[in-house]
Structure 1
Amino acid sequence: MLVAPSILSADFGNLQRDIEIICKNCDLVHIDVMDGHFVPNLTIGPIVIESVAKVATKPLDIHLMVQNNSFFVDLFAKYKPKYISFHIEEEKHANSLVQKIRNYGISPAIVLNPHTNIDSIKYLIEYIDMVLVMSVNPGFGGQRFIPNTIDKIKELKDLIERINPQCLIEVDGGVNNQNVEELKKAGVDIVVAGSYVFSGNYNQKIESLKV
């Protein structure tokens, strides 16, 4: 299992320290960008991402929870993240946005909210590199994992195996050492963990997710 700690739960007064610590053991650095419109929270902008990019020794995984996705893709592409993911619920021109992200040399990914049906991305899977399944409602950290996400992941895995077996599945929300084994069995490749990782010993928590 690959692990992408979400810095939304980091200590922003000591952000460089926290990033340097997690980069000793994580696989990606997950950055939640919220605009206060698509979700009722306002988080990380370009100044912080630029600073993170300077100190992170692992690839960035940027999760857009915004309106006007295309604007934010242009804004953040210069920081050369590994992935930029956007919510299908907010994008009317998904194919065009996927191509724009890929033209920047970045892997495109699509996010599904808990209530969003997998059929909404059936005709996009062949063009993307990852699907991020939200296992909580987006906007705030520290929420509990929604149990029926497991069934959704299994259904998604079957679809991916038929259409684009190289496409990865990432899960974000309520991930911990109690449910990571079940996520692995369901077909998850990458877990995002925020409050779980950034409580206690960061690297021990990351290690506990590498099943």
Structure 2
Amino acid sequence: MFDRSIKIAPSILSADFANFGQEIRAVEAQGADWIHVDVMDGHFVPNLTLGPPLCAAIRPHISTVMDVHLMISPVDAYIDAFAEAGSDIITAHLEAGPHTHRTLQAIRGAGCKAGLALNPGTGIEDIAYMLDMIDLICVMSVNPGFGGQKFIHSQVEKVRNLRAMIGDRPIHIEIDGGMTPETAPLMAAAGADVLVAGSAVFRGGSVSDPAPYGENIRAIRAAAEAARSGS
């Protein structure tokens, strides 16, 4: 069921790569709502990360939502593989190819929720005629490619405008990049409901000492919910 409650989606890009399964179980036990999987190809973005086999391997460890963010180009040829690997949501970039409408069709046709990501320099005008095909819009508040980057404040106004454009459509607004207890309230107040956080969640903890994961998740959530309620 769709809802706009604040959801924290830890990015496993910041987890211990040798212990993905245990890390995922740990952050879920500590309050994570979704698990965010960053896929990078070394072409669309200047980094290489994970592919469908890894997604399939971690799927049994995820009891919440597997939120797969494809920072790759071309993207259409890989949609089925990521769907078969167990993705619940597949997000492609508007900038990744010339036929975004076809990409969204392919994602939904593969049985997944369709997400569309926007780089910091991309406006929202080009998505107006695709809103009824979109389940999630991911606003990049850093330039995609690496974790731990500094939050780009101009994206707050983008989210505010995007929220007005969406209206009452059941579309999540996700923020990816630089989310902390200091920046999350800005995006929550502007209309975002899914907050991706990597280093801000995994900082200070480990599989053997996961309590800091919970503390970090609760701090981000509390700050975002307070901003939304106006307190």
TM (norm. structure 1) is 0.96
Q: Give a deviation string over 1:78-115, Cα, whole Å, max 9, x none.
A: 12322100000112111111111111221101000000
Looking at structure 2, the residues matched to 32 and 202 of structure 1 have their Cα atoms a distance apart, in angstroms, of: 19
Q: Secondary structure at the match of 1:23?
A: helix
Query: Structure 1 stretch 127-136 or stretch 173-182: which is displaced more?
Result: 173-182
Q: Secondary structure at the match of 1:31?
A: strand
Q: Secondary structure at the match of 2:117?
A: strand
Paired-residue identity, %: 40
Is structure 2 residue 92 aligned with structure 1 residue 82? Answer: no
**Two-structure CA RMSD over aligned residues (Å):** 1.1
Aligned length: 209
Is structure 2 residue 140 aligned with structure 1 residue 129? Answer: no
Is structure 2 residue 174 aligned with structure 1 residue 170? Answer: yes
- Hey, what does 2:25 align to over in structure 1? 20
Q: Is the 8 A contact 2:55 2:86 kept in 1?
A: no
- Hey, what does 1:48 align to over in structure 2? 54
- Hey, what does 2:155 align to over in structure 1? 149
Looking at structure 2, the residues matched to 100 and 147 of structure 1 have their Cα atoms a distance apart, in angstroms, of: 33
Q: Is the 8 A contact 2:14 2:198 kept in 1?
A: yes
State the shift of 1:186 in Å.
0.4
- Hey, what does 1:181 align to over in structure 2? 185
State the shift of 1:209 in Å.
2.0
Q: Is the 8 A contact 1:141 1:173 kept in 2?
A: yes
Q: Is the 8 A contact 1:80 1:106 kept in 2?
A: no
Q: Give a deviation string over 1:184-207, Cα, whole Å, max 9, x none.
A: 110001000001101021121112
Looking at structure 1, the residues matched to 85 and 70 of structure 2 have their Cα atoms a distance apart, in angstroms, of: 14
- Hey, what does 1:194 align to over in structure 2? 198
Looking at structure 2, the residues matched to 136 and 34 of structure 1 have their Cα atoms a distance apart, in angstroms, of: 15
Runs of 4 or more, structure 1, over 3 Å off, are none
Q: Which runs of 5+ in 2 are unaligned?
A: 1-5, 205-211, 226-231
Looking at structure 2, the residues matched to 28 and 188 of structure 1 have their Cα atoms a distance apart, in angstroms, of: 15
Q: Is the 8 A contact 1:136 1:146 kept in 2?
A: yes
Q: Secondary structure at the match of 1:16?
A: helix
Looking at structure 2, the residues matched to 103 and 85 of structure 1 have their Cα atoms a distance apart, in angstroms, of: 14
